[in-house]
């Protein structure tokens, strides 16, 4: 059996180490207005995906969906100041160099998935945290009917909706989860899949 790590392009190996470094350096920053840190939110999202039996690409997407917050220098409460940090686009642009669309597209679409769910499931919006409602307003609010149709036409919209669910539940203070090292092999597998496609 081939070791997936040995078949990775050198830049993907570098990217995984860089991701872990970003969490090490900035992961203890508060996750918006929630009672968890950036790292806790990422780990809870990745663990929720793993517990649901998702594959390596989708577990990686869940773990990395908010990486954009660690790539910019805006304060963690920028949404409260009326600034949409476009973290989904920032993460997408950075990660597409190292991972395939099964990782990057759900990440790019996870904010749109929130807007979509607000439009098609009236009760969904009432389940959002105050911080998520604040960012929703900055992100454009619920989708229009035309935007709903456009979102549904995207081949990755189902994965984005699954990711959104894990994102929404990953805000539990002091929840014990596996650590980042636990998820490293999923990142290696996901990057390896991208390099073979």
Domain extents in the chain? 4-196
- Identify the CATH homologous superfamily for domain 4-196: Hypothetical protein af1432 (1.10.3210.10)
Q: How far apart are CA 192 and CA 116, in angstroms?
A: 31
176-to-40, 163, 172 alpha-carbon distances in Å: 9, 20, 9
Sequence-separated (6 or more) residues with CB below 8 Å from residue 39: 23, 27, 28, 180
CA dihedral 149→69→137→158, nearest 10 degrees, is 20
Query: Which residues, given as ranges, of the chain have pLDDT below 70?
Result: 1-10, 72-85, 194-197
Query: Which structure tokens are listed for 74?
Result: 């805006």
Tell me how far the alpha carbon of residue 59 is from its chain's centroid.
9
Give the pTM: 0.86
Q: How far apart are CA 43 and CA 174, in angstroms?
A: 12
Query: Which structure tokens are listed for 85?
Result: 């940090």
pLDDT at 77: 53
- What sign does the dihedral 36-42-43-49 (CA atoms) show? positive
Query: Which structure tokens are listed for 79?
Result: 């949404």
């Amino acid at each position: 059996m081939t070791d997936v790590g040995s078949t990775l392009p050198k830049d993907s190996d570098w990217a995984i180490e860089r991701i872990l470094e970003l969490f090490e350096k900035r992961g203890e920053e508060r996750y918006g207005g929630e009672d968890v840190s950036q790292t806790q939110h990422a780990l809870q999202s990745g663990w929720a995906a793993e517990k649901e039996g998702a594959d390596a690409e989708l577990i990686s997407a869940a773990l990395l969906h908010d990486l954009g917050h660690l790539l910019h220098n805006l304060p963690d409460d920028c949404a409260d100041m009326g600034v949409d940090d476009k973290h989904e686009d920032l993460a997408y642009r950075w990660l597409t160099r190292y991972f395939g669309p099964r990782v990057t597209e759900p990440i790019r679409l996870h904010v749109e998935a929130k807007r979509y769910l607000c439009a098609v499931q009236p009760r969904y919006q009432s389940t959002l945290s105050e911080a998520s409602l604040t960012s929703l307003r900055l992100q454009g609010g619920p989708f229009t009917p035309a935007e709903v149709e456009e979102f549904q036409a995207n081949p990755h919209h189902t994965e984005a909706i699954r990711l959104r669910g894990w994102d929404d539940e990953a805000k539990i203070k002091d929840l014990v989860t596996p650590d980042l090292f636990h998820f490293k092999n999923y990142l290696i597998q996901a990057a390896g899949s991208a390099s073979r496609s």
